[in-house]
Copies of this chain bind each other. A is one copy, B any other.
Amino acid sequence: MDNLINFIETAIQEGKFAKVREEIIQLNVVDIAQLLDDLDEEKTLVIFRLLPKEISVEIFSYISTEQQQFIIESITDKEIKHILDNLFMDDTVDILEELPANVVKKVLKNASEDKRKLINQFLQYPDDSAGSLMTIEYVDLKKEMTVKQAIERIQKTGVDKETIDICYVMNNYRKLEGIIHLRTLILSDSNIIVADIMDTNFISCDTHMDQEEVGNLFRKYGLLAMPVVDKENRLVGIITFDDIIDIIEQENTEDFQVMAAMEPSETEYLKTDVKTLAKNRVVWLLILMISATFTGGIIKKYESILASVVILASYIPMLMDSAGNAGSQSSTMIIRGLALGDIQLRDLSKVIWKEFRIGIIIGITMALVNTARIYILDGVGIWVGLTVSISLFITIVLAKVVGGSLPMIAKKLRLDPAIMAGPMITTIVDAVALLVYFRLATFILGL
Residues of A participating in the B interface, judged by any CB pair closer than 8 Å:
26-28, 30, 151, 154-155, 158-159, 163-165, 182-183, 186-187, 201, 203, 215, 218-224, 241-242, 244-246, 248-249, 252-253, 255-257, 259-262, 268-270, 274-275, 277-278, 281-282, 284-286, 288-290, 292-293, 295-297, 299-300, 303, 306-307, 310-311, 313-318, 320-322, 324-326, 328-329, 331-337, 340, 342-343, 347, 350-351, 354, 357-358, 361-362, 365-366, 369-370, 373, 377, 396, 422-423, 426-427, 430, 434
Contact = CB atoms under 8 A, between A and B. Distances in A.
Contact of A249 (B159, B163, B219): B219
7 contacts: A28-B203, A165-B165, A224-B224, A270-B343, A274-B361, A282-B366, A285-B322
Contact of A244 (B182, B203, B245, B259): B245
B320 A310 contact: no
The A interface, classified by DSSP as helix, strand, loop or mixed, is helix
Contact of A286 (B26, B332, B369): B369
Contact of A268 (B164, B337, B369, B377): B337
A443 B256 CA distance: 39
Given A262-B332, A278-B358, A365-B286, A269 B343 contact: yes
A321 B270 contact: no
Nearest to A278: B361
Contacts of A218: 245
B253 A340 contact: yes
A281 B321 CA distance: 14
Contacts of A223: 242
A321 B289 contact: yes
A324 B183 contact: no
